[in-house]
Amino acid sequence: QRLSDQIAAGEVIERPSSVIKELVENAIDAKATEIDITFSEGGLKQIVVSDNGLGIAADDLSLAFKRHATSKITTTDDLFNILTLGFRGEALSSIAAVSKVEIVTNTGETKGIKAKVQEGMIKSQEPAAAKRGTQVIVSDLFFNTPARLKYLKSQKTEIAKMIDVVNQLALSYPDLSFRLFNGSKRLSQTTGDGDLKKNIANIYGRQISQKMIPFSSENMDFEISGYLSLPEMTRSNRNYISILLNGRFIKNYQLSRSIISGYGSKLMVGRFPVVVLNIKMDANLVDVNVHPTKQEVRLSKEAQLKELIEQTFKQTLAKNNL
Ligand code: ADP
Ligand code: MG
């Protein structure tokens, strides 16, 4: 373990928000419907993610912390048909390499278990009363990597990044209920009732969501849908453009370019719309295995997708006489 885990951790776990992203993705993959996230001292003292998902069986617990151990794919073919958010088996081992981890989990069949993980190894494991689901407690993040600690920004910036990550995940999953706490103070909450517009209101506020209109269209290969803001509702940066590909929040400059082209001259220079764009496509046409953080993707038929997005945005804005 040690060296290779530390190296992987450097790529996967850049900052406190990366811990939240990976743990929440695991909760989503475990079919949780309620996910609570709590942090203290900008995430460096503690991050706790609790879910009501499937839990981990006692026998699988040590495997879960081994690098490259994933229960989500088994063959190389699976790698080209990824239906879960995780598949690299790197998150838990990476987190455990740079923090102190405790996990409480229960599959619902027997009593739960509680384990302490140090230096990536399970140090103790005992029965514990727990509801079905999993709680991961990450303490003293980067305590053993002082260089990484130094590179972090102010608490305020790290908190903003954690809020961004939770917002992205909550926007991607309107059917799930998310709650984010700074200590005992609740920062945000979504209801999980499946209504994307209400979800946008919960996350960005009603002032923004009121000025957003729905769109949807499809062609042979892609289905796109979501909400776009009226050209009067803009922001000074691209952070409010969310692109979700098969439920995964992705970063893709080309696709955000097509969104902006769709607005054309309706958008003032230096202003960006608020958009939630859901793309559904055959998982075989996406390669997610590009980067350890899994936010970059390579798309087959990217040009066709760009065209569909630009045209749909143009038409939706025109239909609304904008
Ligand atoms: P990956 O998500 O890529 O499979 P991780 O290191 O994130 O790798 O997790 C390792 C394994 O631990 C997962 O494949 C899964 O079986 C299990 N696991 C992790 N978190 C949870 C959770 N919250 N609920 C149930 N199982 C989990
Ligand atoms: Mg994972």
Q: Is residue 197 part of a domain?
A: no
Considering the domain architecture, whether residues 43 and 178 belong to the same structural domain is answered as: yes
Contacting residues for 94 by C-beta, under 8 A, at least 6 apart: 5, 8, 9, 11, 12, 13, 22, 67
Boundary-marking domain end, from 189, 215, 247: 189
Q: With DSSP H G I counted as helix, E B as strand and the rest as coil, what are the percentages for the chain, rounded to 5? A: 35, 30, 35
CB 302 within 8 A of CB 222: no
Question: Is 200 inside any structural domain?
Answer: no
Mutational test site, ligand 1, from 21, 26, 291, max ligand atoms within 8 Å of CB: 26
For the chain, the domain total comes to 2
User: How far apart (Å, rounded) are the C-alpha atoms in residues 302 and 313?
Assistant: 17
Tell me the pLDDT tens digit for each residue of 262-289: 999 999 999 999 999 999 999 999 988 7
Q: Using one digit for the tens of pLDDT, what is the confidence trace for 221-236?
A: 999 999 999 999 999 9
225 forms beta bridges with 216, 278
CATH of the domain at 44: 3.30.565.10
**φ and ψ at 238, to 5 degrees?**
-80, 0
Residue nearest to atom 11 of ligand 1 (CA): 64
Q: Give the position, in ligand 1's atom list, of the atom nearest the Cα of 53.
A: 24
* 3-state SS assignment for residue 265: helix
**Complex ipTM value:** 0.99
CA dist 227 and 238 (Å) reads 15
The Cα 229–Cα 248 span in angstroms is 21
Distance CA(166)–CA(282), nearest Å, equals 26
On whether both 213 and 153 belong to a single domain, the answer is no
| pLDDT tens per residue, range 143-168 | 999 988 988 989 999 999 999 999 99
**Alpha-carbon distance 240 to 277, whole Å?**
11
Residues 236 and 292 occupy one common structural domain: yes
Q: 168 in a domain, yes or no? A: yes
Q: In ligand 1, which atom is closest to the CA atom of 88? A: 3
User: Where does the pLDDT of residue 322 fall: very low under 50, low under 70, confident under 90, or very high at 90 and above?
Assistant: low
Q: Are residues 52 and 182 in the same domain?
A: yes
* Domain of 279, in residue numbers: 206-319
- Condensed to tens digits (0 to 9), the pLDDT of residues 185-240 reads 999 999 999 999 999 999 999 999 999 999 999 999 999 999 999 999 999 999 89
Token duo for residue 288: 């997610």
pLDDT for res 240: 93
Closest ligand 1 atom, residue 71 Cα: 14
Q: Residue 243, SS3?
A: strand
Question: What local confidence, expressed as pLDDT, does residue 9 receive?
Answer: 80
| 199 within domain boundaries | no
Does 269 lie in the same domain as 155?
A: no
Q: Which ligand is nearest to the CA of 134?
A: 1
Asked whether residue 215 falls in the same domain as residue 140, the answer is no
Residues 213, 120 within the same domain: no
CA atoms within 13 A on the CB side of 35: 30
Residue range 39-79, pLDDT digits in tens: 999 999 999 999 999 999 999 999 999 888 888 888 888 88
pLDDT per residue over 281-315, tens digit each? 999 999 887 888 878 889 999 999 999 999 999 99
Say whether both 148 and 290 belong to one domain.
no
d(CA 269, ligand 1 centre) in Å: 44
